[in-house]
Amino acid sequence: MSKEAFGKTKDIRLGLLLWFRLARFYNQSNRLSNQHLKKWGLTIAQFDLLAQVGALQPISQQELADKLLVSKGNITQMLAKMEKLELILRKQEWRTKRISLTTKGQRLYEEVIPLQESFQAAQFEKLDRTEKKQLLSILKKLHDKS
């Protein structure tokens, strides 16, 4: 094997190792978050929906689907569940459905958002501030490449 081919093989292995580590961290983070959010009867997807609606209300159903990176069908199902839990309210404004939080949803938003944000941030406490900035910069670079 030539020196160049050997180097390329090592780069591929390193890339795979990075991908596996990142995937494992992401999956572990999701498991921990789901466990943490069980206290409020929420999943990560429901938390994300609650956070987006709470921050941007009233938001159109299409804008919300775009923010959550889900299909029209998925957002409809998610909203139906959240509506059943009396956390959100959908209002038809001509051809657009606008979503906002109910009083119950607003109370939950105010309670859970700061706690979940702290919980998520704590998953990076092993890194110092410089390492966090470096990781953020690297992840942005990877995202911009896609």
Contact (Cβ atoms closer than 8 angstroms) between residue 56 and residue 63: yes
pTM: 0.78
- What's the rounded Cα separation, in Å, for the pair 41 and 132? 31
**In angstroms, rounded to a whole number, what is the distance separating the alpha carbons of residues 65 and 59?**
10
24 exposed, middle or buried (CB, 10 Å; 0-12, 13-18, 19+)? exposed
- Per-residue pLDDT tens digits for 121-131: 999 999 999 99
What are the backbone dihedrals phi and psi of residue 130, each rounded to the nearest 5 degrees, phi first?
-65, -45
Give all domains of the chain, ordered by start, each with its CATH number.
3-145 (1.10.10.10)
pLDDT band at 24 (very low <50, low <70, confident <90, very high): very high
Rounded-to-5 percentages of helix, strand, coil across the chain: 75, 10, 15
Q: Tell me the percentage of the chain whose pLDDT exceeds 90.
A: 61
Beta partners for residue 90, in sequence order: 99
Q: Specify the pLDDT at position 145.
A: 66
Q: Which long-range contacts (CB under 8 A, 24 or more apart) does 38-43 make?
A: 40/108, 40/111, 40/112, 41/85, 42/112
For residue 60, list its beta bridge partners: 98
